[in-house]
Every structure is written in structure tokens, then in C-alpha cells.
């Protein structure tokens, strides 16, 4: 199945999932702060435009991709919750799963993948060496804010925040992965390892970043049924900015992965 047909199937599935989610509603309270399911309908409409029109096709495609990732926000949390629910490992409320929403968000994530493939193949401008260096620096810079925020919270003695070892490891790994994807250093590793790692990490970052950014925008505009209290307006701005870095880092990781794939393909063709 080529990427065009895959995108059509994915957008139809996303549209159906959105309608069903709107009818059924959230299956668990934790999902009430997630981006609204009608975002999936918006993304499906944009994706439909990208596969049917020629003028502005890439614009519609990338817009659909962005909204699909926003609509999928929370799917990573759904996976963790489903793990505890299925295995029966005691986790309290964290083993409760919004199954209708979880399925919809998984479909949106698959639809985002299909739309990325179709759009990148429709307009595949090769990223030059200077652009790849900018991506590498962008990945390093955007990997700093979240671990730094958690470190400051730990230094201030917040009871619920320990030393951010996992944040340092995970975001440090993300920075290294972007560098490997965009510099000759990546040539020492198997292509499939770098590609799979790039896809998985970019999707995780874009989905979680979409959850935070789209979720907070939904709260600010009154579209979310519940709101998260971050303590003060200044705290909200800080949290929005830091989690916005997740989203930006996901964009950089995705661009680096697409650039790496296209660059290796061109090398093979030559």
C-alpha cells in the first residue's frame, strides 16, 4: 500500500474515531484535560485536502500532521495505564484506562505517521549540510529546559520532585540521537537503528508535547472540560514554555529523521 492510500485509510479511521469519541465521551476522568476529540476531525479534513488537491498540498499535509499529533496527546500515558490494567500490577488509579479515547488517540498517532510519509514524499526537499547542523544544535538546546526546570524544583526542595536523573538521561539521549541523525557520527550505527529510534522518539515527544501545549491552549480558550492548576499565572507560562520545548524537540527529531532517511537514500542512489 502506497503512502497516499495509507493516508486515506488513516484519515477515514481517524474521522470515525473522532465521531465515536464525541458520542461516547471520556471513559475516565483523567482524560477530561486532554485535547478535545474533535481535533481528530479537523486533522482528518486537512489530511483529506492534502491527498485531493495539488496547490498547497504540503501545507495541508503538515498542518494535518501537527493537528493529528495534538489530538493524539496522552497516548503515551494511555499505554502506561493499559500496561498496569492488563498485567494487574497494583497502580491505584493509574491502572484506570479511558479505552475509547485511548483507541482514538492511537489511531490519530498512526494517522500522523501516514500523513508524514505522504507529505514528505510529495515534497522532499533535501536538507543541506548547514540545515543539518542547525537541527543538531536545535536538538541540543531544546533538550535542556525540561531537565533544568526539574533540577531547579529539586533544588528548591519540592516534596514530589526528586533528583531528575531520568529526565537528564532521556533528554540527553534525545540530544545525542539528533546529533547522530544529522552528523557523520551516525554513519557508525546501523541505519535501521537510527531510523527506528528517530521515529519512536519523535512520536513520543510530539504526542506528549501536543498533550501539554494543545491541552493548555484548550484550557485557556475554555474548550477543555477541566483545568489543571499550576499555582500561578507565571508558573503556567513557565510550564507552557518548557513543555513547548518538548513539542519543538519532537519537530526537530522528526525533521532529523526524515533528513537522515533522505540523505541515506540519496547515497544509495548515487
pTM, two decimals, is 0.85
Same domain assignment for residues 7 and 70 = yes
Q: What is the pLDDT of residues 15-69, one digit of tens each?
A: 999 999 999 888 888 887 788 888 899 999 999 999 998 777 889 999 999 999 9
| Angle, helices 233-269/145-155, rounded to nearest 10 degrees | 150
Note the pLDDT of residue 266: 56
**Domain span holding position 53:** 3-122
Q: How many domains does the chain have?
A: 2
Same domain assignment for residues 143 and 265 = yes
Same domain assignment for residues 114 and 175 = no
C-alpha 20/C-alpha 90 separation (Å) is: 30
Same domain assignment for residues 18 and 100 = yes
51: its cell numbers: 491527498
Query: Of 107, 122, 137, at which residue does a domain stop?
Result: 122
Q: What is the pLDDT of residues 2-21, one digit of tens each?
A: 788 999 999 999 999 999 99
Query: Of 122, 142, 161, at which residue does a domain stop?
Result: 122
Same domain assignment for residues 82 and 116 = yes
Same domain assignment for residues 145 and 259 = yes
Same domain assignment for residues 112 and 144 = no
Same domain assignment for residues 91 and 142 = no
What residues of the chain score a pLDDT lower than 70? 1, 122-129, 159, 215, 218-239, 263-270
- The sign of the CA dihedral 29, 34, 38, 43 is negative
Same domain assignment for residues 171 and 241 = yes
In b/e form, how buried is each residue of 51-86, taking b as 16+ CB within 10 angstroms? beeeeebeebbbbbbbbbbbbbbbbbbbeebbebbe
Note the pLDDT of residue 270: 42
Amino acid at each position: 500500500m502506497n503512502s497516499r492510500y495509507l493516508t486515506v485509510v488513516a484519515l477515514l479511521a481517524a474521522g470515525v474515531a473522532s465521531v465515536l469519541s464525541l458520542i461516547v465521551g471520556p471513559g475516565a476522568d483523567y482524560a477530561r484535560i486532554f485535547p478535545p476529540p474533535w481535533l481528530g476531525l479537523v486533522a482528518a479534513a486537512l489530511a483529506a485536502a492534502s491527498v485531493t488537491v495539488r496547490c498547497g498540498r504540503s501545507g495541508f499535509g503538515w498542518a494535518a500532521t501537527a493537528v493529528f499529533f495534538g489530538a493524539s496527546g496522552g497516548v503515551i500515558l494511555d499505554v502506561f495505564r493499559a500496561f498496569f490494567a492488563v498485567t494487574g500490577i497494583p497502580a491505584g488509579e493509574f491502572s484506570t484506562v479511558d479505552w475509547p479515547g485511548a483507541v482514538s488517540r492511537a489511531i490519530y498517532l498512526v494517522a500522523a505517521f501516514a500523513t508524514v510519509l505522504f507529505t514528505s514524499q510529495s515534497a522532499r526537499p533535501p536538507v543541506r549540510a548547514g540545515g543539518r547542523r542547525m537541527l543538531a544544535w536545535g536538538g541540543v538546546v531544546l533538550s535542556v529546559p525540561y531537565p533544568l526546570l526539574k533540577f531547579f524544583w529539586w533544588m528548591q526542595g519540592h516534596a514530589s520532585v526528586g533528583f531528575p536523573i531520568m529526565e537528564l538521561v532521556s533528554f540527553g539521549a534525545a540530544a545525542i540521537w539528533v546529533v547522530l541523525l544529522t552528523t557523520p557520527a551516525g554513519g557508525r550505527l546501523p541505519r535501521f537503528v537510527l531510523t527506528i529510534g528517530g521515529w519512536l522518539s519523535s512520536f513520543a515527544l510530539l504526542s506528549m508535547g501536543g498533550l501539554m501545549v494543545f491541552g493548555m491552549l484548550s484550557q485557556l480558550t475554555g474548550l477543555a472540560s477541566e483545568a489543571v492548576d499550576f499555582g500561578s499565572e507565571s508558573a503556567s507560562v513557565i510550564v507552557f514554555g518548557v513543555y513547548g520545548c518538548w513539542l519543538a524537540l519532537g519537530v526537530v527529531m522528526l525533521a532529523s529523521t526524515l533528513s537522515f532517511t533522505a540523505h541515506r537514500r540519496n547515497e544509495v542512489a548515487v
